A and B are shown apart, each in its own frame.
Chain A
Amino acid sequence: MRDATYDVVTIGGGPAGMAAALAARQAGADRVLIIERDRELGGILQQCIHNGFGLRKFKEELTGPGYADRYIEMVGAAGIDVWLDSTVLAAEAGGRITCVGPTTGLATVEAKAVVHSMGCRERTRGAIRIPGSRPAGVFTAGAAQRMVNMEGYLPGRDVVIIGSGDIGLIMARRMTLEGARVRAVFEIMPYSNGLTRNIVQCLEDFGIPLYLSHCVVAVHGHDRVTGVTVAEVDADLHVKPGTEFDLPCDCVLLSVGLIPENELGRAIGVSTDRITSGAVVDQFRQTSKPGFFAAGNVLHVHDLVDLVSNEAEIAGRSAALFAKGVFGEATHERAVIAGEGLRQVVPQRLSTLEKGKNAIRFFFRSKAPMGPSIIALKTEDGIVWDRKLRVVKPSEMIVADIPVNRFAKASHIEFVLTLDEHPEPLEGAVEEEDA
């Protein structure tokens, strides 16, 4: 059996794992290892051949493989060990990792600090209980994307897409360019879950209709899919009787949400956020198990890979400091509460604030779409920070860098999102705060 000792090990070599490993090296970790189950680094980026990645990180628009390529080069230059084609079987709380691969065989690694960067998986048909038969031709959008873009096969020629998540929208365009007919996208919510840009460039450009407040109530077909039955839903998401209609198709793609692939975290007993399905972390991205950090989509599902990289840098740097023994014990812990109007916040707790740190970045998602709004930080002293937002969508993360001096001494930390009664007159594009 191969045995090795590392300062920092990242489990997963996608954007989060690579950025965390690089940050760990830069923060002084000597021995850093990335364990990746695929045969190359990059994770899901490698199948996202469309562009739009990297505007924040590299100040230019890259494709997914292009974004991955930049990081793969940096990882190669940084003296980071990479085990490809290796799957982690167990990651024990003490930092002992068992993994297996055809060339590595069975190996154990002793890690002083571990970064969980396993990414996420797609919600399936079963999870949302779409009735009907179970023929060939029903795929999650991401699985279809891999088949089309990396293997060169098409999952169908006459396509219906369920859910308006970004992967589904991207696949609507991709399938159209590959010669398939995309009949429609059906979204059960009264608003889209994708970026406006994708609605315009992936659907409207090709005349593909988006039906809001509609769901698929049955899949038909014995061998291959032959069609679906669609219906309109009311405000409680219940089917409106009499609104059902049939649509022929030979393929159904599902883009109905992503779920952190956090099984390794659960296995060692890290506290999990019921809403994000990822770990509960502090501002250093440390989980409830000392020495275990998490970043990227395994922690909470992000919209932009650039933000994944930024978050992973925090986790990687923290892991390096932990490995060096200078991280210090997490004390003065306080919960961060996602209050009124907010579905989730990351980090979910704060621990001892780092000296010299001026601001801490928080990620939020709203419960519902809202017009002009105010996001505010409430402590026992009342509202200590707020910011106006011109528009809020659950599909677009709210990112805020909040000055530490506003809440350094507070024990109650709660964010709220409320309607802005006095919106400023509209002018200028919204610039999200950058790193």
Chain B
Amino acid sequence: MGEMRGLEPISSKADVVVIGGGVVGCAIARELSRYRLDVVLLEQAPDVATGTSKANSGILHAGFDCEPGTWKARLNVRGAALYAEIAEGLGIPRREIGSLVVAHSDADLATCESLLARGRENGVAGLEIWGADRLRAHEPSISADVAGALWAPTAAVVCPFLATVGFGENAIRNGAKIHTECGVTGLVTAGGRIVAVETTRGRIEARFVVNAAGVHAADVARLAGDDSFTIHPRRGEYILFDRSTGALARSVLFPTPSKVSKGILVSPTVHGNIFIGPNAADVDELDDVETTAPGLDEIISGARKIVPDLPLQNAITEFAGLRAAAGKDFIIGESPIVKGLVHAAGIQSPGLTSAPAIGEAIAEILADLGLKLTPDPTFVPVNPHRPKFTEQTPVEQMARIAADPLAGRVICRCETITEAEIVAAIRAPCGARTIDGVKRRVRAGAGRCQGGFCGPRVTAILARELGIPVTAVRKETLESWLFYARAGLEIREDIDA
């Protein structure tokens, strides 16, 4: 166990090396793949979307709460507009369900008014203040003591994994390379300028390096001698409910925000589940994504202020993610210390929303730094449509099964996911390599039984498709093997039977 299998040889040189396979890194790689460039993205984990991009609220914010003039304000509004254009073609599930900032008092309503004014300044369309009656008519489960709300119709929910995978797959289809299980161990400079990246899998000569390493971005910068910023990981915990609770909220429900956070919200997911969270706790470790009993209690009591009657018995999972907090704004631009090193760092909320706009911004910056951007006429902006079996008509389903009998075998019973869909998710560019990778792409195991039934089967399918033994199948991280071989295990002798 343990050796890397089936990994393609890594590139020896590139025009641009992007470090980090989160939604930001993948969106940057995809944007750069429009041009005639050698683009290489490095990800230390076996899959993309395994850091902040896997555990966040999945919301495309309307953009009313960013301070005007900041990167956040500019990129949020632009990013939200870009998703509206490109999400469908890239296979990124997105639903424009609107958001509500729920006010409980006159003071809250005053905050909503100021958010409305700020939103108009940022160019957010359709903002309105609603009275309590209109709010209750829209959200029947909402707390009785609400005073009103700020309505933002352009807010949407999106699948953050499939956003990352969609950008990553499209980047690969347009010639970029994504090397997974490839950790960065050094940044080589010469004369104050970046020249190469050292990785766990070899050295890559690079003209430019884009640092999109999420919570690890400051560590990456330091590899080049740039200590111009630090990242403070701030953990947020979530509880996800079964889809049977989907009627609990129609839109994203925010509390009236405090100075530090958008607060604990109640929201539908793009797939029709409900989630509550996140709280905010500063943590020391860059991999501390443990949930805590007090933290879960905190988000339950926070969410109850908006929706008092939470269906806690229908919780299907709890998880935590880290925000890569740096300062008030995103850090976007060339390193003040090392030429050719461009940061896309400190990307906390609204980072998911901003990601495609960050891609554009980074391309502009690279052009300003002397990288020639020649459009590639073969660029294809969309990914092949991979319809969900359950969303097809019977005629389409029959044709699909006739062509591939595996399309008729349901593996995940909770979400009705067929073997053919799982196989496709593994074989696609930027394909799944782990159990969680399959779950995040096609939702096998994301339902109420959380993989209790389909886990053993998905394990077997991964082993077959990747050509590895079952004992080499991993859950998510580099060494997260799931099963041991039975043979070769010695019977314990020390038990007094």
Which residues in A have some Cβ–Cβ distance to B below 8 Å?
1, 37, 85, 87, 89, 98, 100-106, 121-122, 124-127, 129, 131-137, 139-140, 142-143, 146-148, 151-157, 176-181, 205-207, 217-218, 220, 222-224, 239, 266
Q: CB distance A104 to B408 under 8 Å?
A: yes
Q: CB distance B452 to A142 under 8 Å?
A: yes
The smallest beta-carbon distance between A245 and chain B, in angstroms, is 16
The smallest beta-carbon distance between B299 and chain A, in angstroms, is 11
Contact of A239 among B291, B292, B293, B451 (CB under 8 A): B293
Among A153, A157, A205, the most chain B Cβ lie within 10 Å of the Cβ of A153
Q: CB distance A131 to B295 under 8 Å?
A: yes
CB neighbours of B491 from chain A (8 A): 177, 179
Who on chain A is nearest to B416 by CB? A89
B379 at the interface (CB under 8 A from A): no
Q: CB distance A176 to B492 under 8 Å?
A: yes
Who on chain A is nearest to B486 by CB? A152
Contact of A206 among B390, B479, B497 (CB under 8 A): B497
Q: CB distance A106 to B486 under 8 Å?
A: no
Q: CB distance A151 to B470 under 8 Å?
A: yes
Who on chain B is nearest to A132 by CB? B290
B450 at the interface (CB under 8 A from A): yes
Give bound CA distance, A154 to B490, whole Å: 13
CB neighbours of B289 from chain A (8 A): 133-134
Give 8 A-B pairs besides A154-B489, A157-B489 with Cβ atoms closer than 8 angstroms.
A37-B413, A85-B409, A102-B419, A126-B318, A131-B296, A143-B456, A151-B460, A154-B484
Q: CB distance B316 to A205 under 8 Å?
A: no
B191 at the interface (CB under 8 A from A): no
B482 at the interface (CB under 8 A from A): yes
Q: CB distance A140 to B408 under 8 Å?
A: no
The smallest beta-carbon distance between A45 and chain B, in angstroms, is 15
Chain B, 148-196, CB within 8 A of any chain A CB? none
Name 8 interchain pairs, CB-CB below 8 A, sorted by A: A1-B398, A87-B410, A106-B394, A122-B452, A133-B290, A154-B489, A179-B492, A207-B496
Known A100-B397, A136-B476; contact A124-B495, beta-carbon cutoff 8 A: no
Give bound CA distance, A100 to B408, whole Å: 6
CB neighbours of A206 from chain B (8 A): 495, 497
Contact of B455 among A87, A121, A143 (CB under 8 A): A143
Q: CB distance B489 to A129 under 8 Å?
A: no
Give bound CA distance, A409 to B485, whole Å: 62
CB neighbours of B482 from chain A (8 A): 136-137, 155
The smallest beta-carbon distance between B478 and chain A, in angstroms, is 7
B11 at the interface (CB under 8 A from A): no
Q: CB distance B408 to A105 under 8 Å?
A: yes
B118 at the interface (CB under 8 A from A): no
CB neighbours of B451 from chain A (8 A): 143
Q: CB distance A106 to B496 under 8 Å?
A: no
The smallest beta-carbon distance between B255 and chain A, in angstroms, is 22
Who on chain B is nearest to A138 by CB? B475
Q: CB distance B484 to A136 under 8 Å?
A: no
Known A37-B413, A153-B470, A223-B479; contact A131-B318, beta-carbon cutoff 8 A: yes
Who on chain B is nearest to A87 by CB? B410
Contact of A121 among B295, B401, B448 (CB under 8 A): B448
Q: CB distance B408 to A129 under 8 Å?
A: no
CB neighbours of B485 from chain A (8 A): 153-154
Among A147, A155, A217, the most chain B Cβ lie within 10 Å of the Cβ of A147
CB neighbours of A178 from chain B (8 A): 486, 489
CB neighbours of A207 from chain B (8 A): 495-496
CB neighbours of A223 from chain B (8 A): 477-481
Q: CB distance B452 to A121 under 8 Å?
A: yes
Which residues in B have some Cβ–Cβ distance to A below 8 Å?
239-240, 244, 287, 289-293, 295-296, 313, 315-319, 390, 394, 397-398, 401-402, 405-410, 413, 416, 419, 448-453, 455-456, 460, 470-471, 474-486, 489-492, 495-497
Q: CB distance B497 to A224 under 8 Å?
A: no
Q: CB distance A126 to B477 under 8 Å?
A: no
Contact of B313 among A87, A105, A127, A180 (CB under 8 A): A127
The smallest beta-carbon distance between A110 and chain B, in angstroms, is 16
CB neighbours of B479 from chain A (8 A): 223-224
The smallest beta-carbon distance between A142 and chain B, in angstroms, is 7
Give bound CA distance, A339 to B402, whole Å: 55
Who on chain B is nearest to A177 by CB? B491
Q: CB distance A129 to B296 under 8 Å?
A: yes
The smallest beta-carbon distance between B295 and chain A, in angstroms, is 7
Give bound CA distance, A103 to B397, whole Å: 13
Give bound CA distance, A140 to B408, whole Å: 27
The smallest beta-carbon distance between B330 and chain A, in angstroms, is 28
Known A124-B452, A205-B497, A223-B479; contact A87-B413, beta-carbon cutoff 8 A: yes
CB neighbours of B492 from chain A (8 A): 176, 179-181
CB neighbours of A177 from chain B (8 A): 491
CB neighbours of A124 from chain B (8 A): 316-317, 448-450, 452
Q: CB distance B408 to A102 under 8 Å?
A: yes
Q: CB distance A135 to B480 under 8 Å?
A: yes
Who on chain B is nearest to A135 by CB? B480
The smallest beta-carbon distance between A85 and chain B, in angstroms, is 6
CB neighbours of A179 from chain B (8 A): 489-492
Who on chain A is nearest to B240 by CB? A126
Give bound CA distance, A139 to B454, whole Å: 12
Q: CB distance B489 to A121 under 8 Å?
A: no
CB neighbours of A151 from chain B (8 A): 456, 460, 470
Who on chain B is nearest to A179 by CB? B489
Q: CB distance B449 to A121 under 8 Å?
A: yes
CB neighbours of B453 from chain A (8 A): 121, 143
The smallest beta-carbon distance between A3 and chain B, in angstroms, is 12
Q: CB distance B489 to A131 under 8 Å?
A: no
Q: CB distance B481 to A136 under 8 Å?
A: yes
CB neighbours of B291 from chain A (8 A): 131-133
Who on chain B is nearest to A266 by CB? B244
Who on chain B is nearest to A104 by CB? B408
Give bound CA distance, A181 to B490, whole Å: 11
CB neighbours of A156 from chain B (8 A): 484
Contact of B481 among A37, A139, A224 (CB under 8 A): A224
Q: CB distance B480 to A224 under 8 Å?
A: yes
Give bound CA distance, A1 to B401, whole Å: 11
Known A127-B315, A205-B497; contact A147-B394, beta-carbon cutoff 8 A: no
Give bound CA distance, A176 to B497, whole Å: 11
The smallest beta-carbon distance between B88 and chain A, in angstroms, is 25
Q: CB distance A153 to B450 under 8 Å?
A: no
CB neighbours of B318 from chain A (8 A): 126, 129, 131
The smallest beta-carbon distance between B435 and chain A, in angstroms, is 8
The smallest beta-carbon distance between B308 and chain A, in angstroms, is 19
Give bound CA distance, A205 to B214, whole Å: 51
The smallest beta-carbon distance between B221 and chain A, in angstroms, is 24
Q: CB distance B483 to A153 under 8 Å?
A: yes
Q: CB distance B315 to A136 under 8 Å?
A: no
The smallest beta-carbon distance between A272 and chain B, in angstroms, is 11
Q: CB distance A155 to B483 under 8 Å?
A: yes
Give bound CA distance, A137 to B301, whole Å: 30
Give bound CA distance, A126 to B474, whole Å: 20
Give bound CA distance, A147 to B317, whole Å: 22
CB neighbours of B481 from chain A (8 A): 136, 223-224
Known A147-B456, A176-B492; contact A105-B398, beta-carbon cutoff 8 A: yes
